[in-house]
Amino acid sequence: MQGIELARTTHGPIEYRHLGTGRTVLVLHGGHDSCRADIRGEALLDHGFSLLIPTRPGYQGTPLFTGPTPMAAATALIALLDHLEIEQVSLIGISAGGPTALELARRYPDRVDRLVLEAAVSRPWVTPASPLFYLSSLLFNPLLQSPVWAMGRHAFRRDRDRSILLLLPQLTRRDPRQVLARLDEEDRDYIARLVENMESGSGFMADMSHRAPELDEIRVPTLIMHSPHDGAVPFSHARFAARHILGAELYSTETDTHLIWIGPGSRRVLERRAEFLARRRR
């Protein structure tokens, strides 16, 4: 993918993409992803924003030692902003990128003017005793994750729709067949592209141990968008964040899955994001 660069910051190397030339929106991707993340950001570029998408530590070209915890990752991201001479950003935290986004907003309110949480982790997610932790330790540990994703990509190339149907129980609490029927061709291609670019590296195992900071210490304007049908990160995370972040807005989306940018109701998600980020700065 063109446009990927590597910044050698004071806290370690960080891979990133920087798209557009307007006011900067810093995007922290979810698990198994990287700076190659497709967050349906075209509308933001069209509204005159620029997107700064770093690869979080442990994924693709950013080593885990750059920021193995949310606090360390937040400090490394400030080093990236300093390296790029960016004084202030708006911030989007997606899924497992939530704890780092929350830490960044808490510790550096002078560098973050507003925060959007999208299907984001905001409270303890998995424990070492949980079946999810055990399964993830088997499939997504640094030694096995590469062949696991290679098999997934092969399956998607052979039969995209069947593969999506098998994936959907991890993403939604609704009937997978009904959800699949509501996805158009563009949505299905979007999921296939996600899988094509996914790797877990050492980042996903680190993500499962991440803990969000004290949310009542966050003072930046915050929008929380989450589907009540999310099968990957329960809607309780959104309710928890809304209760504890002063003045936070909670938007319960009409989308079917963890991927709130696709399917019925997704257009309104993208509109709410753009509207919130376009509000006048403090």
Q: Which of the residues are catalytic?
A: 95
CA distance linking residue 11 with residue 68, whole number of Å? 11
Angle at 73 between CA 148 and CA 123, to 5 degrees: 75
**Phi and psi (nearest 5°) for 154?**
-60, -45
CA-wise closest residue to 35 among 77, 5, 7, 10: 5
8 A C-beta contact, residue 174 and residue 66 = no
Give the list of residues 6+ apart from residue 131 with CB closer than 8 angstroms, or none: none
CA-wise closest residue to 115 among 32, 215, 252, 260: 215
8 A C-beta contact, residue 241 and residue 117 = yes
